[in-house]
Amino acid sequence: MPILPIDGGRYGTKEMREIFDEEKKIQYQLEIEATTAESQAEISMIPKNAAQNIARMARSGKVTSKRIKALEAKSDHDTAALVEALSELCKPTAKPWVHYGLTSNDLVDTSNSMQIRDAFKIIEPKVARLAIILAKLAMKFKDTPAVGRTHGQHASIIAFGLKFANWASEMSNHVERIEECKKRVLVCKTLGVVGTGSLMGSKALEVQKRTAKKLSLYPAEVTTQIIAREKYAEYVFCIALIGATLEKIAVEIRNLQRTEIGEVAEPFKKGQMGSSAVPVKRNPTKSERVTSLSKILRSQINISFENIPLWHERDLSNSANERFTIPTSSILLDEMLEAMTKIISDLYVNKERMRKNLEITKGQIFAEFVLDALIKKGVPRLSAYRDIQRVAFAASDKGLEFLDAVKKDAAIASHFNIKEIEKIFVPENRLGASSMIITRVYTKVKKTCSKFT
């Protein structure tokens, strides 16, 4: 009976969950046994016939979790139980060479790398796909004026597409981060008890190099009994950082979907219920789910950093929690990417509401541009600032349109004709370099992400 939502399949795709399935973990570790034996035989470290038998039995599917658990009940050691279960199936001439020169964490750490390798194969294309969707939306709305808010207040005018461009750029950066960290994180270790390759001697590095290549990993440069936990910390941090960007998007969508703003809304399918009590509600539940899961994701960072300092060549204070941190981080990010991609792909954008929101301050959102126009007419900045502030506050108190108040104020209006003043108050004229910025981001995202989609 499932205990956690992850176990019950509530979060994450089947494809991602299978990577961290118990049976799959066994297959990864058996593949390490098979590949290491083959690599050892290639350089005449162990007999070729023995390696062939070990590899065949390791890949036969006959080493079962049931048998491993039965052996573990006696030995109280999961990896030793796996090695014993494999050895039972091998020929007498091959038995001495099973797990030769290896230690438990050669299997544990290298299988972790294999899991991360395959998790990246799922995560990276999804990150890239979301970046491209966001970039296309940026282009779609690059000429759409909207309220730009700072401190929750109307500040100035932006192109609505600039929001998507910001998000697309960061998702594209995450693709680059994944690519850059692979060589540090996807590490194969076959150097034995304390990282010296003690039993394999001078050939130890060659065995590791060959094994790593076969497993599509990178050979470890140096290890203790385990690979340095900085590598896992980097992986979890990378995952959590992607999650934080997804949460940033989710928080903005939640805010913009508020009744008082109403500029966007999550997709709402037929038959969906927003509230069990209020029939008319359309709640941003998927974005809220992303926000919620991101909190768990970030919590894994601290645990991963705590695992870096261990006693001497290693202890077990990291072992139990890593059974949670790596799978949990990977599966939850997969869920968040799936959710956010669905949200963004079918996001409802209300351009009419954007136009109305631009009018909420009765034109005072154009104050920045009135100030700029006065400065360009030769008015000292502070003097212009004070005049605009005086007129704006008075207009606000009386409920007047800022444009009308500007036209009637001699200190400001004397510097312009009517057409010049009215031109200042056209939203489409106030998008600055938005179009150029968005186009540049779109080009970069396509270059970085297209090969993954």
The pLDDT score that the predictor gives to residue 227 is: 97
We report the CATH number of the domain holding residue 31 as 1.10.275.10
Give per-residue pLDDT as tens, 143-153. Answer: 999 999 999 99
- The encoded tokens of residue 50 equal 């023995």
d(CA 425, CA 44): 81
Please give the radius of gyration of the chain, using alpha carbons only, rounded to the nearest integer. Answer: 30
Averaged pLDDT for residues 173-186: 98
Same domain assignment for residues 88 and 150 = no
Of the residues 312, 331, 357, the one at which a domain ends: 357
Inter-residue contact 405 to 394 (CB < 8 Å) = yes
Q: Residue 9 — very low, low, confident or very high, per pLDDT cuts 50/70/90?
A: confident
Averaged pLDDT for residues 202-230: 98
Of the residues 97, 112, 130, the one at which a domain ends: 97
Q: How many domains does the chain have?
A: 3
* Residue 450 placed within a domain: no
* Residue 159 placed within a domain: yes
The pLDDT score that the predictor gives to residue 148 is: 96
- The encoded tokens of residue 228 equal 């340095």
DSSP structural state of residue 96: G
* Residue 181 placed within a domain: yes
Q: Residue 273 — very low, low, confident or very high, per pLDDT cuts 50/70/90?
A: low
Same domain assignment for residues 313 and 267 = yes
Catalytic residue among 75, 198, 216, 275: 275
Same domain assignment for residues 415 and 271 = no
d(CA 93, CA 47): 9
Of the residues 97, 121, 147, the one at which a domain ends: 97
- The encoded tokens of residue 88 equal 């039972």
What stretch of H or E contains 391? helix 381-398
Percentage helix, strand, coil for the chain under 3-state DSSP, each rounded to 5? 65, 5, 30
Is the pLDDT at 259 greater than 80? The verdict is yes
* Residue 442 placed within a domain: no
Q: Residue 8 — very low, low, confident or very high, per pLDDT cuts 50/70/90?
A: confident
Please enumerate in sequence order all residues whose Cβ is within 8 A of that of 89, keeping only pairs 6 or more positions apart, or say none.
57, 60, 62, 63
Q: How many alpha carbons fall within 13 Å on the CB side of residue 142?
A: 17
Same domain assignment for residues 316 and 385 = no
d(CA 224, CA 226): 5
The average confidence (pLDDT) of the chain is 95
Same domain assignment for residues 285 and 416 = no
Is the pLDDT at 337 greater than 90? The verdict is yes
Same domain assignment for residues 216 and 339 = yes
Same domain assignment for residues 174 and 319 = yes
For the question of residue 450 being annotated catalytic, the response is no
DSSP structural state of residue 12: S
Same domain assignment for residues 391 and 299 = no
| CA triple 404-387-371, angle to 5 deg | 80
For the question of residue 174 being annotated catalytic, the response is no
The pLDDT score that the predictor gives to residue 212 is: 98
Please enumerate in sequence order all residues whose Cβ is within 8 A of that of 198, keeping only pairs 6 or more positions apart, or say none.
101, 192, 204
Single-letter code of the amino acid located at 14: K
* Residue 183 placed within a domain: yes
The pLDDT score that the predictor gives to residue 272 is: 64
Is the pLDDT at 281 greater than 80? The verdict is no
E strand intervals along 128-183 = 145-150, 153-159
Same domain assignment for residues 243 and 119 = yes
Q: Residue 441 — very low, low, confident or very high, per pLDDT cuts 50/70/90?
A: very high
* Residue 21 placed within a domain: yes
In the numeric block, the tokens 């954007």 are attached to 354
Reduced to 3 states (helix: H, G, I; strand: E, B; else coil), residue 280 is coil
* Residue 440 placed within a domain: no
Give per-residue pLDDT as tens, 429-438. Answer: 999 999 999 9
Q: Residue 279 — very low, low, confident or very high, per pLDDT cuts 50/70/90?
A: low
d(CA 236, CA 57): 34
Same domain assignment for residues 51 and 160 = no
Same domain assignment for residues 223 and 274 = yes
Give per-residue pLDDT as tens, 77-133. Answer: 999 999 999 999 999 999 999 999 999 999 999 999 999 999 999 999 999 999 999
We report the CATH number of the domain holding residue 265 as 1.20.200.10
Find, among 35, 210, 217, the residue nearest to 116 by Cα: 217
The pLDDT score that the predictor gives to residue 276 is: 57
Same domain assignment for residues 23 and 161 = no
pTM: 0.93
Range of the domain at 257: 104-357
Is the pLDDT at 61 greater than 60? The verdict is yes
Is the pLDDT at 280 greater than 80? The verdict is no
